[in-house]
Chain A
């Protein structure tokens, strides 16, 4: 196994208790907190774990592999080191499972350096604030929720919505304006189905991205607990690519809901007092230790842009998984079943969506001076239109005022021609802004209060055609 350097360390056969993924081992000596443990099952299978709690000569070990086959007669070896993986540029193009075993038939990786996977904290003073606009070619993202290099922007989805198609489209089309560099993709799958993985694989293969990809796969039928380490392996690799090899990395983590379920099952096994819906109180900090690994560092060339995907249980955005994620990430893209039902792709509902870093990536010298204002105006007008639509459902369209009717028409046209686009349609930002202005010209000029008078004079179709 490739997590620890040495095969030394004493072996204990003194497991006194097995509780879910937890083993209580007694009579141990010199064991340290968070230490990597290797567990050999009766049938010879080896799995790994870490020390969660150590009290004198008693250690609680959490294993990361399958929990079937765990029993009192397993052999436990404490390695004397924390969990590490070997790193080298040979990892590029490879596929591993959640315990870092090769799935591509190639040999176990060897590296120049072994790096700890759990604790990695960028000094906030050393961070470079992300500010390079990424053109994804998707209007509702580029126009209203722009992504920048080094940002962590999740997709909040629901079962059955096309989040994977969208993530693949973003991976395929993303470019930084004025730069030729392509993204290296690190894909970490947690509990997704085989066909979903196959979809990503095919897409990456088709576009040649596979040669620049590293994949860590824990699929739906793999051990759930392995999901705790899979994203950490993926991000340790991403950090190596970004900050040692100067690459720009796009890390796709899917599905974070699968990850959080693993976290919950450990918490339950430990009989901890839960915070909300059975999820542990430390889930915020735990998720932060993953999401905050995205970013840029002063003086370094590379970057990690992160796109976690999660399915909101019951479509509920207040559920702890999307809720805590939204508190950590730099915005969120929210998919809507209603839009999807109306045949809109990508079904991103802009109203609750947000890119917190947009303001740093757009504007004069980056995209265009009117970009931020146009975005704000679209938000305001679309919100107005949605309100009118709700009203029309109650009182009927005929009872709407002229103004309300105008906004209703705006909202429908906006969904049809701005949000909606093809899976293979790659719209440059100028095109996105052009569509936006055409839509805004449906409204009286005096209503465009979020746009400066100068920019109206410069970009409003009425003045341009004249």
Chain B
């Protein structure tokens, strides 16, 4: 790596212009000023180079030096990522705290992975083995959940000269590779990858399984696939963060990368405090042992938000390449887009809508393109996936603004939040009319294994909800009382679906997570109720009589039951009551 040197000419917020830096390329990491603040080359014109500084630039003066690293901004990858909390530049915030106290300082250099910690490396290859990029040479058991697979870095191949079992730091050589061009390359537990470049894989493969989140409205109605993408737009307080946190907690991903991008410090503190106590409902293991956090909160420098998103996605791809299903959560992509806008404005680029640069759409598309299900490089053809789920924070709750409308075009699933639902504390406030998923057909296979009628229930429930909202519009003008009986039943069933199925309190002991089997069962019962009740209405039973049955009111609470048998027996009671009503009216006829 050659070092380039330049001199600061101008400082305007996060934008620094330097002269010199011969040979610098856009995307190169640079160290700015006496404090060696971290930055990146964003534009070159003649001998002037525009830099984006990732730390606060107060106190920088023209004339101070700039040093180019000659290399792009890199993610450091290896054992030690799990359970960590990083800033957008992959500096451990816990280490930061130890070094500088509770308030952040600038110019602090912290290596991402701990240098002193030893990891037990178990070789998976032996001397004489021929290996290529992406092959697993051994593993480190990083946490009780994650087996960290050490891969031959991209671009390398050769024959293993030596390899050793034992305890190593990330910088120790664990194996030596003899390459075809006659070099001996030491392999370590650590490797590097430029954050803005997608990591290579063998091939993309079709997505065919859902990311189970345990959130009914998502899994049943607007499911996201492993390797797919989802966006969750909504005004403030509509439930973006809680929904994403629920997914971080309960989804059946192997690894979760949670990127807090330009949002609240206390939300990250809350996650950091609560996560270590949570257990995976499937394995009983601590959820923190599969999670990585990037906390680039709103009062940290704006420019670093931009880098933090790519940092997180790169870490995710690294675990994908080890053969894992990785969920990436970004809260919020709007803050990342605002960072793009900020830099673009300082560069005096011609703005498109609302000050955003013309390439906004391209960047959003590229970001979501990094999701996918792939066969990784390497002989054993590991399959892994990256699922990207991003919050969108539309100004004024207006979905037509540039970031929201562009994101909606690229997202595979859309969870559209609705402030009116949030106002009445219907959470998750996901609007069932405006949301969508493009994955239903691909994922049907999973659900049909649980119940062959699943697709029918789902479509019927959606149809009832849709019809109900049309009827509500009418009722808003003429009053519910004026509606005929069959239509009032639609309203009753819709109410049962909403309260008994869609509403799911994140803080409820039992209902915070709903396994797929239970989701299917609840839906089946509600649709069964609807069919039966329709029959009664045709016989002339007034909806009021059905509504006032104690057992029907109980349908709203079935979700709180832990055991599926309890749900069955509750439904038995409904059926019996309805049978009785039916008998009564049949006789009357």
Contact = CB atoms under 8 A, between A and B. Distances in A.
A300 B101 CA distance: 11
Contacts of B423: 351-352, 379, 383
Interface stretch (A12-20, A166-174, A189-197, A399-407): A399-407
A41 interface: no
A390 B479 CA distance: 11
Given A54-B61, A123-B93, A282-B302, A449 B556 contact: yes
Contacts of A391: 475-476, 479
Interface in A256-302: 272-276, 281-282, 284-285, 288-289, 292-293, 295, 297-300
Given A33-B60, A53-B10, A297-B102, A446 B236 contact: no
A457 interface: no
Contact of A124 (B10, B62, B295): B295
A288 B237 contact: no
A125 interface: yes
B116 interface: no
Contacts of B85: 124-125
B265 A404 contact: no
A125 B273 CA distance: 9
Given A54-B62, A320-B395, A327-B393, A33 B103 contact: no
B298 A284 contact: yes
Contacts of A106: none
A35, A123, A298, A401, most chain B CB atoms within 10 A: A123
B507 interface: yes
Given A33-B60, A54-B62, A273-B351, A124 B297 contact: yes
B266 A394 contact: no
Nearest to A381: B424
A125 B295 contact: yes
Contacts of A331: 237
A32 B272 contact: no
A204 interface: no
Contact of B10 (A55, A400, A453): A55
B10, B297, B395, most chain A CB atoms within 10 A: B395
A374 B302 CA distance: 40
A53 B57 CA distance: 11
Contacts of A284: 262, 298, 335, 338
A401 B544 CA distance: 11
B137 to A, nearest CB: 33
Interface in B75-112: 85, 93-94, 96-97, 100-104
Contacts of A318: 395-398
Contact of B299 (A288, A319, A352, A404): A288
Nearest to A323: B396
A390 B556 CA distance: 26
A126, A351, A452, most chain B CB atoms within 10 A: A126
A283 B136 CA distance: 48
Contacts of A436: none
Contact of A33 (B61, B342, B475, B550): B61
Given A285-B262, A450-B425, A122 B499 contact: no
Interface string A323-336: 11011101110000
A214 interface: no
Contacts of A401: 479-481
A415 B101 CA distance: 48
A409 interface: no
Contacts of A293: 299
A124, A129, A446, most chain B CB atoms within 10 A: A124
B422 to A, nearest CB: 8
B298 A125 contact: no
A121 interface: yes
Contacts of B297: 124, 292
Contact of B265 (A31, A295, A384, A450): A295
B128 interface: no
Interface residues of A, number: 83
A330 B264 contact: yes
A309 interface: no
Contacts of B335: 284
B1 interface: no
A328 B12 CA distance: 25
A395 interface: yes
B345 A281 contact: yes
Contacts of B560: 452
Interface string A41-53: 0000000000011
A326 B236 contact: yes
Given A127-B268, A284-B338, A379 B425 contact: yes
B93 A32 contact: no
Given A56-B10, A449-B499, A356 B237 contact: yes
B433 interface: no
B298 A292 contact: yes
A243 B103 CA distance: 11
Given A282-B302, A372-B507, A127 B550 contact: no
A399 B479 contact: yes
A334 B348 CA distance: 38
A279 B295 CA distance: 27
A340 interface: no
A123 B104 contact: yes
Contacts of B58: 32-34, 82, 118-119
A410 B158 CA distance: 78
A462 interface: no
A329 B234 CA distance: 16
A365 interface: no
Contacts of B94: 125
B354 interface: yes
A53 B479 CA distance: 62
B481 A121 contact: no
A361 interface: no
B46 interface: no
Contacts of A295: 265-266
Nearest to A299: B102
B478 interface: yes
Nearest to A379: B425
A302 B300 CA distance: 23
A299 B264 CA distance: 20
Contacts of B341: 275, 281
Nearest to A33: B11
Interface in B251-300: 260, 262, 264-266, 268-270, 272-273, 295, 297-300
Given A122-B104, A276-B354, A323-B396, 14 more contacts: A33-B61, A34-B58, A56-B9, A82-B59, A125-B268, A127-B266, A129-B266, A285-B302, A288-B298, A292-B264, A356-B237, A380-B426, A383-B425, A384-B424
Closest 10 pairs (CB-CB, A-B): A318-B396, A383-B424, A288-B298, A127-B269, A34-B58, A125-B93, A126-B102, A326-B236, A33-B11, A446-B553
Interface of A: 30-35, 52-57, 82, 118-130, 150, 243, 272-276, 281-282, 284-285, 288-289, 292-293, 295, 297-300, 318-320, 323-324, 326-328, 330-332, 351-352, 354, 356-357, 359-360, 372, 376, 379-380, 383-384, 390-391, 394-395, 399-401, 404, 446, 449-450, 452-453
30 contacts: A33-B60, A34-B59, A52-B12, A53-B13, A119-B56, A119-B58, A121-B104, A121-B299, A123-B97, A123-B104, A125-B269, A126-B101, A127-B269, A128-B269, A243-B102, A274-B355, A275-B354, A281-B341, A288-B262, A300-B102, A320-B396, A323-B236, A324-B395, A326-B237, A352-B423, A391-B479, A395-B478, A400-B479, A404-B480, A446-B550
